[in-house]
Structure 1
Amino acid sequence: MDKYYIACFSLLLLFLTACRENEFDKESVKEFTLSSAINGSNYHIKVALPKNYPSASEYKTIYVLDSKWDFDFVAREVQKQSENFHRDDVLVVGIGWGNDRLDDYLPVPFKNGKGLADDFVKVINNELIPKLEKDFHAADSREDRVILGHSAGGLFGVYCFTNYPDIFGNYLCLSPSLWIGDQIVLSNEKKNRIANQTRNGRFFLAAGEVEEGGIRPPIEALRQILDRYYKGFSQEYKIAKGLDHLGSKKPNIREAISFYFQQH
């Protein structure tokens, strides 16, 4: 009987420890709805404030796509890394879904998605970013803005890199679905390369070792393109060993955030 209770107590400790590891200070999260005049959609926005806010005159921003899935995990990791690096100047901004995610994230129609990425870019650049600058002291330079996305969200991040490079200076793109639209985003990169390759910034690209289907080859192609043509970007390429598309997401988010903090 004693062994039974000891085993149960040990399991309880493990559970409580796991719960603590997934917690962050939710009292520091502010929420609002962004009603877009550009595409008529309503976006639920979450902003995780750093400790001692507002102690800095301006704040760097990490914009997280698929906020419902990933905001809490990213906010916790940023909180932990901020403590490790003695930083208190980073906001985490979670962007909820105003439309179907394939409408907003993809530049071309796919399945039921309408391919309205260009409108979504305008929502972020013309409406969300100015509000963050006005209401939350967000810095107004591309160098201080980060976009983080996985899968279709990762594709959107790469699309911003190739077609709208004035918005973000830092890209954390995890398992981006570059195969969509006959690899149209890679075609955009080639078309815009001469103008874009003089820029500076940071680019973290990642995938799972056992990604399903044809996801890996275009990601590897992008890695080679970045390495060859974008010398002004600090870069890291990470493959999560033994993990697939979904299984690699959290480990690669953790690596991406570490990369970002190590570069500043």
Structure 2
Amino acid sequence: MILHVDHISLKGFFSSRILHRKLHFRLIAPPSFRKGEKDFPVLLMNDGQDYTALGLEKILTRSYTQKNMRPFLYVGLETDQNRMHDYGTASTADYKGRGEKAGLYARFVTEEFIPFLKKEFRASSRKEDWVYCGMSLGGLSAFDIVFNHPHLFGKAGVFSGSFWWRKKAYTKKDPEDRSRIVLDMVKEGTYAPHLNFWFQCGTLDEKADRNHNGIIDSIDDTLDLIRELESKGYSYPGQITYVEIEGGKHDLPTWAKVFPDFLKWAFGRREAQ
């Protein structure tokens, strides 16, 4: 009998001293992980509890069979009632106090969880091999952590990111809308030449258009962030990829549909990209 393995799956939890609680995670590895001959690139994802709803088992298994893809580990960090406290920007909570533990969450990821994965699961020690992604508020969190820890990551992927996150309520008297936290975070941050960013928005992500310019806010916020990254020195196109899905919504089906394209961007072999 010949044994065929589609993927290797593991579920567990990590007891964080920084957050003072257990965080559950799911790890998926390609069949070649059994050979134990090398370290693997890693896709770290916020909102890992959406693994089944996103249909990631099928997506990842198919990816592992494609010769133009590098084998990689998927690690989904699950969240719960702490989501609105953990996700956000580490530098500051938003004007309503949301994301007040984002700094601690970033420390958990970078100081505890990543070293754990490197030690226990042969996760790569090369920063260029690490990709962090997330959807909505989880995408804001992933971007924030990657941008501020370039020594640990090579890429960030954001699906319908909550880049509206702001220091104060929106006002028409602020035409440049600099209260959005990520804009000044990028402006005041340091350029890291190896970083790459992937952003996705859907034309039906929402209906709100606070500045009445005919562009929904989620797209406006993402394009403004891209311009800020360009000002910092990142190339677009090039280091920055932007995917706009006509009719795409702020929901799991939209993100699942585009996820294979994201994986190709993240782990496709150079000659295939």
- TM over 0.5, shorter chain: yes
CA RMSD of aligned residues (A): 2.4
**Contact in 1 for aligned 2:85/2:100 (Cα 8 Å):** yes
The answer to whether structure 1 residue 174 and structure 2 residue 156 are counterparts is no
Gaps of 5+ in 1: 1-23
The answer to whether structure 1 residue 191 and structure 2 residue 188 are counterparts is yes
| Residue in 1 that maps onto 2:226 | 223
**Contact in 2 for aligned 1:29/1:47 (Cα 8 Å):** yes
| Residue in 2 that maps onto 1:21 | none
Gaps of 5+ in 2: 167-178, 209-216
Q: Secondary structure at the match of 1:209?
A: strand
**Contact in 2 for aligned 1:142/1:168 (Cα 8 Å):** yes
Q: Mark the CA change 1:76 to 1:112 in structure 2 (over 3 Å): closer, same or farther.
A: farther
| Residue in 2 that maps onto 1:200 | 194
Deviations 1:165-205 (A, max 9, x none): 2221111111110001231012100111xx22x42132211
The answer to whether structure 1 residue 144 and structure 2 residue 129 are counterparts is yes
Using structure 1 for the length normalisation, give the TM-score: 0.81
Paired positions, count: 237
The answer to whether structure 1 residue 70 and structure 2 residue 51 are counterparts is yes
**Contact in 1 for aligned 2:69/2:264 (Cα 8 Å):** no
CA distance in 1, matches of 2:203, 2:222: 12
Q: Secondary structure at the match of 2:31?
A: coil
Q: Mark the CA change 1:99 to 1:165 in structure 2 (over 3 Å): closer, same or farther.
A: farther
Amino acid at match of 2:79: W
CA distance in 2, matches of 1:241, 1:119: 37
The CA deviation at 1:131 is 1.3
| Residue in 1 that maps onto 2:10 | 30
Deviates more, 1:94-103 or 1:140-149: 94-103
**Contact in 1 for aligned 2:9/2:28 (Cα 8 Å):** yes
CA distance in 1, matches of 2:110, 2:99: 20
| Residue in 2 that maps onto 1:157 | 142
| Residue in 2 that maps onto 1:241 | 246
**Contact in 1 for aligned 2:46/2:142 (Cα 8 Å):** no
Larger helix fraction of residues:
1
The CA deviation at 1:40 is 0.4
CA distance in 1, matches of 2:104, 2:80: 12
| Residue in 2 that maps onto 1:6 | none
The CA deviation at 1:99 is 5.3
Query: Which structure is larger by alpha-carbon Rg, 1 or 2?
Result: 1
Q: Mark the CA change 1:263 to 1:141 in structure 2 (over 3 Å): closer, same or farther.
A: same
Deviates more, 1:83-92 or 1:51-60: 83-92
The CA deviation at 1:251 is 2.3
Amino acid at match of 1:67: G
| Residue in 2 that maps onto 1:54 | 34
The CA deviation at 1:263 is 5.2
Fraction of identical pairs, as percent: 22
Q: Mark the CA change 1:220 to 1:88 in structure 2 (over 3 Å): closer, same or farther.
A: closer
CA distance in 2, matches of 1:110, 1:77: 38
CA distance in 1, matches of 2:100, 2:63: 35
| Residue in 2 that maps onto 1:127 | 112
Q: Mark the CA change 1:99 to 1:199 in structure 2 (over 3 Å): closer, same or farther.
A: farther
Q: Mark the CA change 1:159 to 1:50 in structure 2 (over 3 Å): closer, same or farther.
A: same
Larger RCO, structure (CA 8 Å, separation 6 or more):
2
**Contact in 1 for aligned 2:133/2:143 (Cα 8 Å):** no
